[in-house]
Amino acid sequence: MTAHKTRLLVVDNDVGVIYSFRRVFSSSDFILLEALTGEKTLEITNAENPDVIVMDIHMPGQDVIAVMRDIRSIDPRIPVIFMTAYASTQSTLEALKAGAFDYVTKPFDIGRLRSVVRSAVKASRNMRQIVACESQDCKDAHAEIIICRSNPMKQVCRQIVTLAASDQPVLITGERGTGRQLAARAIYQHSRRKQKPFIALNCATILKAVLHDSLIGSHTMSPSGVQTGKPGRLEFCDGGIVLLNEISEMPFALQDQLITFLENGGIASTSGGSSVRVDVRPFATTSRNLGVLCASGEFRTGLHDRLCAGQIQLPPLRERRSDIPALAEYFIMRYCDELGLGKIMLCDDALNALTRYSFPGNVRELKHMIKGALVRIQGNRIKSSDLAIGSCSDDDDTTRNVLLPLADDSAFDALFDEIAKRQPLPGHYDAFDVIESRLVRRALEYCSGNQSHAARFLGITRNTLRKRIKKYGIDLGREINRAGAG
């Protein structure tokens, strides 16, 4: 289950742009594919099945919109990002309406470029990475597995199979960290829509003013009086599935529009004309009781009733304790492979500690606990003292910051302020690079130059660490000397 490298296809007839991408995306996480023409783009798309495509919207002699449509006909799940000098041009808007994932403007804001590519990579993996219940005997080595040895989870897996065969809306409820999005992806992966787009939006983290435009689309009026707009994710996902995480946080006005969409399948046109009909199956998750919210007037009853056509309640980990040994073993295997470790065993005292613990953060907390233990252990056996039980919960206020045990944030704040003052940074570096380079240098110093130990400390592979050392021009001898001097 070695980590999958992202195949990023860059399309531009300007070799200078392609060279820039080589420098920005030179890490071990990417395999860079390159094309100078639309014809070559389609050839590579058919042969290499890229995860993400970044394409210039203006190439002489090329009908880029036609190329975009051909890409969608090959695989509509591939996110296509357009590069353009002008975000508001008609060609950019036509590309977005044809199904482009997003756009970036030239000259590049490197931070924005990386952010958009990161979002596209995440969306691509959500669509492509197989999710299967343990009982389905999946042969894909990269698949994410839903452990279901307990009776509550066996029932969940039966519901996943049933809902995958239908086409009704789905509401997945449960505490945070129980795996609601994983269940949603499992339904998608086994449904008739699995070759179509799947996009997730989090109603709790996206600004309410932005959420409408992200989902429905936006309208703009040019100085000449022409109304144009940017399509939302409902239009992008035509034929597929949109997942609305934490739907209880959705504003009332948007709830009303979603009810209208569920009734007639239409959304307002971004060009100002008649409504656009799209075929999208909506999924939603929530950690709150929507029935109670409806009774108190905090959620639309009409939307709740329509979403409840297909409902799954995920149990908290404390109610499925018989799954804990298998889950722990699964995460050990997964992260040993990711971190380049050999075979690691779980001691009996560690397993007993895990099965006794209440896990307020549920499966997510167990996952972080196991990964942290693999970074800390000496030898090939995880003991109870390696687990830092109680330090990985997202919901326990007393332990929320244990993973970053700083006395205060003043040192980081000072570093952040210094970086902010120096914007834009020289070369192709951004704020993340500055912080990451210092973290890598400090980890190497702390581990006396031992790359294997430093990689485990950072939670990355040794190969990734070597790439970071090369990227930032880190002198290993100097870091070893600094460690010795300390």
Lowest mean per-residue pLDDT among 209-218, 235-244, 415-424, 438-447:
415-424
Determine the number of helices (DSSP H) and then strands (DSSP E) in the chain. Answer: 20, 18
| Residue bearing the bigger pLDDT, 83 or 340 | 83
Residue pair 320/362 in contact (Cβ under 8 Å)? The answer is no
DSSP 322: G
Q: Is the pLDDT of residue 406 over 50?
A: no
377 exposure class (CB count in 10 Å sphere: 0-12, 13-18, 19+): middle
| Residue bearing the bigger pLDDT, 373 or 475 | 373
- The pLDDT of residue 390: 65
User: Cα separation of 353 and 389, whole Å?
Assistant: 8
Alpha carbon 357 to its chain's center: 29
Sequence letter at residue 205: T
Q: Residue 143 domain-assigned?
A: yes
DSSP 425: P
Q: In what order do the strands lie in the sheet with 170-173?
A: 198-202, 241-245, 281-286, 170-173, 311-313
If one counts the domains in the chain, the total is 4
Q: Residue 402 domain-assigned?
A: no
The helix (run of H) or strand (run of E) holding residue 120 is helix 110-128
Q: Residue 1 domain-assigned?
A: no
Within a 10 A sphere around the Cβ of 47, how many other Cβ atoms?
Answer: 9
Q: Residue 465 domain-assigned?
A: yes
pLDDT digits (tens, 9 = 90+) for 297-328: 999 999 999 998 899 999 999 999 999 999 99
Indicate whether 106 and 168 sit together in one domain.
no
Helices (H), 195-347: 208-215, 233-236, 252-264, 290-295, 301-307, 324-339
- The pLDDT of residue 218: 74
Indicate whether 295 and 195 sit together in one domain.
yes
pLDDT, average across residues 395-404 = 41
- The pLDDT of residue 342: 87
Alpha carbon 317 to its chain's center: 23
- The pLDDT of residue 159: 95
pLDDT digits (tens, 9 = 90+) for 149-200: 999 999 999 999 999 999 999 999 999 999 999 999 999 999 999 999 999 9
- What CATH number does residue 369 fall under? 1.10.8.60
Q: Residue 391 domain-assigned?
A: no
The helix (run of H) or strand (run of E) holding residue 103 is strand 102-105
User: Cα separation of 71 and 56, whole Å?
Assistant: 14
Sequence letter at residue 239: G
Indicate whether 301 and 161 sit together in one domain.
yes
- The pLDDT of residue 26: 76
Indicate whether 151 and 287 sit together in one domain.
yes
Residue pair 382/348 in contact (Cβ under 8 Å)? The answer is no
pLDDT, average across residues 234-244 = 91
Indicate whether 272 and 158 sit together in one domain.
yes
Q: Rounded to whole angstroms, what are the CA distances from 15 to 10, 22, 375, 419? A: 10, 11, 42, 31
Per-residue pLDDT band at 404 (split at 50, 70, 90) = very low
Indicate whether 419 and 346 sit together in one domain.
no
- What CATH number does residue 259 fall under? 3.40.50.300
Residue pair 22/63 in contact (Cβ under 8 Å)? The answer is no
pLDDT, average across residues 99-116 = 87
Indicate whether 143 and 267 sit together in one domain.
yes
Per-residue pLDDT band at 111 (split at 50, 70, 90) = confident
- The pLDDT of residue 341: 85
User: Cα separation of 477 and 473, whole Å?
Assistant: 12
Q: Nearest 5°: phi and psi at 148?
A: -145, 60
Which of 292, 313, 334 represents a domain boundary (last residue)?
A: 313
- The pLDDT of residue 248: 94
* Helix, coil or strand: residue 83: strand
Indicate whether 22 and 108 sit together in one domain.
yes
Indicate whether 458 and 381 sit together in one domain.
no
User: Cα separation of 358 and 396, whole Å?
Assistant: 11
Radius of gyration of the chain (CA): 24
| Residue bearing the bigger pLDDT, 273 or 315 | 315
pLDDT digits (tens, 9 = 90+) for 20-59: 999 888 777 899 999 999 999 999 999 999 999 999 988 8
Q: Residue 392 domain-assigned?
A: no
Instruction: Give the pTM.
Output: 0.75
Residue pair 384/347 in contact (Cβ under 8 Å)? The answer is yes
User: Cα separation of 226 and 374, whole Å?
Assistant: 58
Lowest mean per-residue pLDDT among 136-140, 186-190, 454-458:
136-140
State percent of the chain over pLDDT 70: 85
Which residue is it, tokens 């210094």?
418
pLDDT, average across residues 461-478 = 80
Indicate whether 199 and 297 sit together in one domain.
yes
* Helix, coil or strand: residue 97: helix
- The pLDDT of residue 219: 59
Which of 256, 280, 313 represents a domain boundary (last residue)?
A: 313
| Residue bearing the bigger pLDDT, 85 or 83 | 83
- The pLDDT of residue 400: 38
Residue pair 146/132 in contact (Cβ under 8 Å)? The answer is yes
Tell which residue, 259, 171, 254, has the closest CA to residue 207. 254
417 exposure class (CB count in 10 Å sphere: 0-12, 13-18, 19+): exposed
Question: What tokens appear for 241 in the block?
Answer: 């599935």
Residue environment code for 325-350, b if the CB has 16+ CB neighbours within 10 A, otherwise e: eebbebbbebbbebbbbeebebeeeb
Instruction: Please provide the average confidence, as pLDDT, over all residues in the chain.
Output: 84
Q: Residue 400 domain-assigned?
A: no
352 lies in which domain range? Answer: 318-386
- What CATH number does residue 123 fall under? 3.40.50.2300
- What CATH number does residue 422 fall under? 1.10.10.60
- The pLDDT of residue 401: 39
| Residue bearing the bigger pLDDT, 333 or 409 | 333
- The pLDDT of residue 70: 93
Indicate whether 104 and 146 sit together in one domain.
no
Tell which residue, 467, 403, 417, has the closest CA to residue 437. 467
Indicate whether 223 and 332 sit together in one domain.
no
Tell which residue, 26, 20, 16, has the closest CA to residue 110. 20
pLDDT, average across residues 460-484 = 74
Which of 313, 342, 367 represents a domain boundary (last residue)?
A: 313
Per-residue pLDDT band at 60 (split at 50, 70, 90) = confident
Longest CA pairwise span in the chain (Å)? 73
User: Cα separation of 227 and 225, whole Å?
Assistant: 6
- The pLDDT of residue 290: 93
Within a 10 A sphere around the Cβ of 407, how many other Cβ atoms?
Answer: 6
- The pLDDT of residue 12: 93
Torsion of CA 332, 336, 342, 347, to 10 degrees: -20
| Residue bearing the bigger pLDDT, 2 or 23 | 23
Question: What tokens appear for 29 in the block?
Answer: 């996480």
Question: What tokens appear for 360 in the block?
Answer: 């307020």
Q: Residue 231 domain-assigned?
A: yes
**201 bridge partner residues:** 244
